[in-house]
Structure 1
Amino acid sequence: MNAEFGTLISFVLISSFTPGPNNISCASMGILHGYRKTRGYLSGIMAGYFLVLLLCSLASRSLLEVFPSFEIVIRIVGALYILWLAWHTVQASYDFDEQNQRVMGFSRGFFLQLLNPKGILFGLTLYSTFLASVTGTPVYLILSVLVMVGVGFASISTWTLFGAAIRVHLKHRTIKLAVNIGLAALLVFTAFEISGIPELLAV
């Protein structure tokens, strides 16, 4: 149980805080406009993220009820997705361009989530493997979504507030490589854990 909880925490934190459409765009916005002017955009991201996670949890529950063997499929797909995320984490350059000159508002942040494959795959993986047991209890389901949204808000706020500092420090090749390899290694371990391979080896 403790091992599973630790794997869940690693998956959530690494998936949330590593580079992606939300984090990179928020860092860019923070660098160009500061945190206060970016709050509308952050609010839109969180509202859209809440909707996406809720829909992912409901979709995963329906699929598991209709196709019980879907759990095996989603475990494999989820593990492959996490490995893909690990590969891109190793390659992350942390380059923040200045293409977003205008301050983006609530609607841009909201609709970004509907087109964000990282968030959608994260939600399906999370609720088809780690949190499949909560999808049948509305209170626990909503609570889990709110917790995930809280973690997401902490992530985009961190990238917004410290975007400039992150960019400066991660321009050093050695530091960037060490950070990327460390995060990628944790993701590979997470993929191994959710794949079901440990259970097969234990038999």
Structure 2
Amino acid sequence: MLEPLLSLVIATGLLLGSPGPAPLALAATGAIYGVKRGTPFLLGILSGLSFAIIGATAGLAALFASFPNIKTTFQLLGAVYIAYLACKIASAPVVASNAFQSAPGFKDGFILNLLNPKAYAAFLAIFSQFLLPFEDSAVGYIITGITCLLVATVVDALWLCLGGILKPVFSHPIQARVIRIAFALLMLGAVIYALV
């Protein structure tokens, strides 16, 4: 059981930890607002990810295969919402006044991953390739899902903390503006890459 578990953890870490919209948004939130103020956003992302896990195990792939327009609609809604978050990050004030500006919250994180096709695709791949071998397949799906959520929690918290490490740079207005715009452009690039 150790080898399949290790394979699952590594695959999940790589799939969910690669720089996509959610990790980049977490890093930007940590850099701009700090880890403490970014925690509700992280919890929202993890809650949205829980829905993606449930959706993947409940046969969302079959729904998307039967009705491709639904998948396209999810992709477009997700892209628009990620673009909104990228604009919010890029246009945030560059001086210390961001203490009074609201950081992305739980709802923002939840919607981000709820509409994130990358999350659904990642879990469909994980469940088809790395499902933990239990005699009862339902137990295998549940334990695999819980393991994925635990790995995602660690990986996403690391992205938020990585951003938090950059927070001191944000006391310099020019550097702060450059980093915010870079994070926003990376988020938009990840969306465009996913759509193409």
Aligned equivalents of 1:100, 1:38: Cα separation in 2: 17
Match of 2:90 among 99, 104, 108: 99
> For the Cα contact (< 8 Å) 1:61–1:128, is it kept in 2?
no
Aligned equivalents of 1:51, 1:17: Cα separation in 2: 18
Q: Which residue of 2 aligns with 1:156?
A: 156
CA deviation map 1:77-115 (0-9, x unaligned): xxxxxxxxxxxxxxxxxxxx9426340111111111122
Q: Which residue of 1 aligns with 2:126?
A: 126
Aligned AA (1:99): A
CA deviation map 1:20-65 (0-9, x unaligned): 11110000000000011111111111111011111101217979xx
Q: Counterparts of 1:51-70 in structure 2 under 5 Å?
A: 51-59=51-59
Cα 1:149–1:4 change in 2 (3 A) is: closer
Q: Which residue of 2 aligns with 1:26?
A: 26
- TM-score (norm: length of structure 2): 0.57
CA deviation map 1:124-164 (0-9, x unaligned): 11112221866964444333222211111111111111126
Cα 1:17–1:166 change in 2 (3 A) is: farther
Identity across aligned pairs (percent)?
A: 24
Q: Which residue of 1 aligns with 2:95?
A: none
Cα 1:132–1:158 change in 2 (3 A) is: closer
Aligned equivalents of 1:135, 1:44: Cα separation in 2: 33
Aligned equivalents of 1:147, 1:123: Cα separation in 2: 12
How far off is 1:118 after superposition? Answer: 1.4
How many residues in Structure 1 have an aligned counterpart in Structure 2? 135
Unaligned runs of 5+ in 1: 64-96, 169-203
Aligned equivalents of 2:110, 2:135: Cα separation in 1: 24
Aligned AA (2:56): C
Unaligned runs of 5+ in 2: 64-87, 93-101, 170-196
Aligned equivalents of 2:25, 2:110: Cα separation in 1: 13
Q: Secondary structure at the match of 2:90?
A: coil
Q: Greater shift after overlay, 25-34 or 42-51?
A: 42-51
Aligned AA (1:28): A
Aligned equivalents of 1:106, 1:138: Cα separation in 2: 30
Q: Counterparts of 1:1-203 in structure 2 under 5 Å?
A: 7-59=7-59, 98-99=89-90, 101=92, 102-131=102-131, 137-163=137-163, 165=165
Aligned equivalents of 1:107, 1:143: Cα separation in 2: 27
- The two structures, once aligned, show a CA RMSD in angstroms of 3.2
Aligned AA (1:158): L
How far off is 1:7 after superposition? Answer: 4.2
Aligned equivalents of 1:135, 1:125: Cα separation in 2: 21
Aligned equivalents of 1:166, 1:18: Cα separation in 2: 19
CA deviation map 1:140-195 (0-9, x unaligned): 43332222111111111111111265899xxxxxxxxxxxxxxxxxxxxxxxxxxx
Cα 1:116–1:12 change in 2 (3 A) is: same
Cα 1:62–1:139 change in 2 (3 A) is: farther
Q: Which residue of 2 aligns with 1:193?
A: none
